[in-house]
Structure 1
Amino acid sequence: MEFVIEGLHCAGCAGKIENKVRALKEVDNAEMNFAISTLNAYINSSDKDALKRQIIKIVEETEPGTTATLKDDLDGKEVEFELKGLNCAACAGKIERNVKELPGVVSTSLNFAISKFEVKIDNLDVKGLYEQVEKIVKDLEPDVEVILNTGSEDEIHVKKDNNKKKGNSLLMRMGVAIGFLGIGMVFRGESFELIPFLIAYLIVGYDIIKRSISNIKRGEVFDENFLMTIASAAALYVGEHPEAVLVMLLYQIGEYFQGRAVESSRKSIANLMDIRPDYANIKIGNDIKKVSPNDVKVGDIIVVKAGEKVPLDGIIIEGSSSVDTKALTGESAPMDVAGGDEITSGFINIDGLLTVEVKKRFKDSAVSRILDLVQNASAKKAKTELRITKFARYYTPVVVIIAALTAIIPSVFFGGNFNDWLLKAATFLVVSCPCALVISVPMTYFAGLGASSKRGILVKGGNYLEALSKAGVLVFDKTGTLTKGNFKVDKIHAEKDISKDEILRLTAHVESFSNHPIAVSIVNEYGKDIDKSIIKEYKEVKGKGVQATIGGKKVISGNLKFIKDNNIQVEESKTPGTIVYTAIDGQFAGFITISDEIKEDSKKAIQGFSELGINNVVMLTGDRKITADAVAQKLGITKYKYELLPNHKVDEVEKLIESKGDKSLVFVGDGINDAPVLARADVGVAMGGVGSDAAIEAADVVIMNDEPSKLIDGIKIARKTKKIVNQNIFFSLAVKIGIMVLTFFLAVPMWLAVFGDVGVALLAVFNAMRVLRD
Structure 2
Amino acid sequence: MTLATIGAWMLGEYPEAVAVIVFYQLGEFLQETAVKKSQASISALMAIRPDYANLKKSTSIKQVKPEEVQIGDLIMVKPGERVPLDGKVISGESLLDTTALTGEALPQKVSKGDQILSGSINKNGLLTVKVTKKFAEGTMTRILDLVQNASRQKAPTEKFITKFAKVYTPIVVLTAVALAFIPPLIGSDASWAEWINRGLIFLVIACPCALVVSIPLTFFGGIKAAAQAGILIKGSNYLEALNDLQMVVFDKTGTLTKGNFKVTEIKTSNGFTASEVLKLAATAESFSNHPAAVSLRVANGQPDWPIKVVDYQEISGQGIRAQLNDHQVLVGNEKLLVSQGIKFSQQSGVGTIIYVAIDRSFAGSILIADEIKPDSQQAIKSLKRFGLKTALLTGDKHQVADQVGKFLGIERVFAELLPAQKVAKMQEFNQQKSSKKNLAFVGDGINDAPVLAQADLGIAMGAKATDAAIEAADLVIMTDEPTKVTSAIKIAKKTRQIAMQNIALALGVKAIFLLLGALGLATMWQAVFADVGVTFLAVANAARMMITDYAVVNN
Q: TM-score range by the shorter chain?
A: 0.7 to 0.9
What does residue 402 of structure 1 align with? 175
C-alpha spacing 1:243/1:694, structure 2 compared with 1 (3 Å): same
What does residue 138 of structure 1 align with? none
What does residue 166 of structure 2 align with? 393
C-alpha spacing 1:288/1:620, structure 2 compared with 1 (3 Å): closer
Q: SS of the counterpart of 1:376?
A: helix
Q: Deviations over 1:720-759 (max 9, x none)?
A: 1111111122222222222211111233222333344444
Give yes or no for contact 1:273–1:454 (8 Å, CA) kept in 2.
no
What does residue 438 of structure 1 align with? 212
What does residue 308 of structure 1 align with? 81
| Structure 1 position 272, deviation (Å) | 5.0
What does residue 719 of structure 1 align with? 493
| Structure 1 position 282, deviation (Å) | 4.0
C-alpha spacing 1:288/1:629, structure 2 compared with 1 (3 Å): closer
Give yes or no for contact 1:576–1:626 (8 Å, CA) kept in 2.
no
What does residue 37 of structure 2 align with? 264
Distance in 1 between residues matched to 2:396 and 2:464, nearest whole Å: 27
C-alpha spacing 1:334/1:769, structure 2 compared with 1 (3 Å): same
What does residue 237 of structure 1 align with? 10
> What letter is aligned with 1:277?
P
What does residue 736 of structure 1 align with? 510
What does residue 699 of structure 1 align with? 473
Q: SS of the counterpart of 2:372?
A: coil
1:525-674 to structure 2, matched below 5 A, reads 595-611=369-385, 613-661=386-434, 662-674=436-448
What does residue 456 of structure 1 align with? 230
Q: SS of the counterpart of 2:391?
A: strand
| Structure 1 position 659, deviation (Å) | 4.0
1:89-108 to structure 2, matched below 5 A, reads none
Distance in 1 between residues matched to 2:263 and 2:95, nearest whole Å: 32
Is 2:91 the counterpart of 1:321?
no
> What letter is aligned with 2:394?
T
Give yes or no for contact 1:667–1:677 (8 Å, CA) kept in 2.
yes
Distance in 2 between residues matched to 1:427 and 1:475, nearest whole Å: 54
What does residue 521 of structure 1 align with? 291
What does residue 685 of structure 1 align with? 459
| Structure 1 position 294, deviation (Å) | 3.6
Where structure 2 has 5 or more consecutive residues not aligned to the other structure, the ranges are 265-280, 298-315, 319-345, 354-366
1:298-447 to structure 2, matched below 5 A, reads 298-415=71-188, 416-447=190-221
Distance in 1 between residues matched to 2:195 and 2:485, nearest whole Å: 55
Distance in 2 between residues matched to 1:660 and 1:685, nearest whole Å: 18
Distance in 2 between residues matched to 1:483 and 1:292, nearest whole Å: 38
> What letter is aligned with 1:599?
K
| Structure 1 position 285, deviation (Å) | 6.5
| Structure 1 position 708, deviation (Å) | 0.8
Give yes or no for contact 1:489–1:521 (8 Å, CA) kept in 2.
no
Distance in 1 between residues matched to 2:164 and 2:158, nearest whole Å: 10
Give yes or no for contact 2:444–2:466 (8 Å, CA) kept in 1.
no
| Structure 1 position 633, deviation (Å) | 1.9
Is 2:247 the counterpart of 1:473?
yes
Q: SS of the counterpart of 2:392?
A: strand
| Structure 1 position 297, deviation (Å) | 4.3
C-alpha spacing 1:251/1:489, structure 2 compared with 1 (3 Å): closer
Give yes or no for contact 1:382–1:466 (8 Å, CA) kept in 2.
yes
> What letter is aligned with 2:291?
S
Distance in 2 between residues matched to 1:229 and 1:525, nearest whole Å: 75
> What letter is aligned with 2:156?
K
Q: Deviations over 1:5-57 (max 9, x none)?
A: xxxxxxxxxxxxxxxxxxxxxxxxxxxxxxxxxxxxxxxxxxxxxxxxxxxxx
Distance in 2 between residues matched to 1:671 and 1:395, nearest whole Å: 48
Q: Deviations over 1:127-158 (max 9, x none)?
A: xxxxxxxxxxxxxxxxxxxxxxxxxxxxxxxx
| Structure 1 position 700, deviation (Å) | 0.9
What does residue 310 of structure 2 align with? none
Which one has more relative contact order, counting CA pairs under 8 Å at least 6 apart? 2
What does residue 328 of structure 2 align with? none
Distance in 2 between residues matched to 1:663 and 1:629, nearest whole Å: 27
Q: CA RMSD in A?
A: 3.4
C-alpha spacing 1:260/1:367, structure 2 compared with 1 (3 Å): same
What does residue 27 of structure 2 align with? 254
Q: Deviations over 1:375-405 (max 9, x none)?
A: 1011111111111111111111111111111
Give yes or no for contact 2:31–2:213 (8 Å, CA) kept in 1.
no
C-alpha spacing 1:340/1:653, structure 2 compared with 1 (3 Å): closer
> What letter is aligned with 2:196?
L
Q: Deviations over 1:328-375 (max 9, x none)?
A: 112222111123322211111111122333333322221011111111
Which sits farther off after the overlay, 427-436 or 339-348? 427-436
Distance in 1 between residues matched to 2:236 and 2:11, nearest whole Å: 47
What does residue 338 of structure 2 align with? none
Number of residue equivalences: 472
Distance in 1 between residues matched to 2:388 and 2:74, nearest whole Å: 51
| Structure 1 position 602, deviation (Å) | 0.9
> What letter is aligned with 1:740?
L
| Structure 1 position 463, deviation (Å) | 0.9
Q: SS of the counterpart of 2:447?
A: coil
Q: SS of the counterpart of 2:81?
A: coil
TM normalised by structure 1 equals 0.56
> What letter is aligned with 2:478?
M
Q: Deviations over 1:598-631 (max 9, x none)?
A: 22221111122233x2242222333444323311
1:115-134 to structure 2, matched below 5 A, reads none
Q: Deviations over 1:245-302 (max 9, x none)?
A: 2211221222223222221222123335642224434446666555543444445443
| Structure 1 position 574, deviation (Å) | 11
C-alpha spacing 1:270/1:338, structure 2 compared with 1 (3 Å): same
1:137-148 to structure 2, matched below 5 A, reads none
> What letter is aligned with 1:247?
V
Distance in 1 between residues matched to 2:148 and 2:140, nearest whole Å: 12
C-alpha spacing 1:470/1:287, structure 2 compared with 1 (3 Å): same
Distance in 1 between residues matched to 2:421 and 2:70, nearest whole Å: 44
What does residue 301 of structure 2 align with? none
> What letter is aligned with 2:377?
K
C-alpha spacing 1:285/1:637, structure 2 compared with 1 (3 Å): closer
| Structure 1 position 525, deviation (Å) | 7.9
| Structure 1 position 480, deviation (Å) | 2.4
| Structure 1 position 690, deviation (Å) | 5.2
> What letter is aligned with 1:360?
K
Distance in 2 between residues matched to 1:619 and 1:647, nearest whole Å: 15
| Structure 1 position 440, deviation (Å) | 1.9
What does residue 676 of structure 1 align with? 450
Distance in 2 between residues matched to 1:288 and 1:725, nearest whole Å: 53
Q: Percent identity?
A: 50
Q: Deviations over 1:689-740 (max 9, x none)?
A: 2574222112111112221111111111111111111112222222222221
C-alpha spacing 1:683/1:691, structure 2 compared with 1 (3 Å): closer
Give yes or no for contact 2:426–2:451 (8 Å, CA) kept in 1.
yes
Give yes or no for contact 2:262–2:296 (8 Å, CA) kept in 1.
no
Give yes or no for contact 1:373–1:460 (8 Å, CA) kept in 2.
yes
Distance in 2 between residues matched to 1:745 and 1:671, nearest whole Å: 65
Give yes or no for contact 1:328–1:690 (8 Å, CA) kept in 2.
no
| Structure 1 position 412, deviation (Å) | 1.8
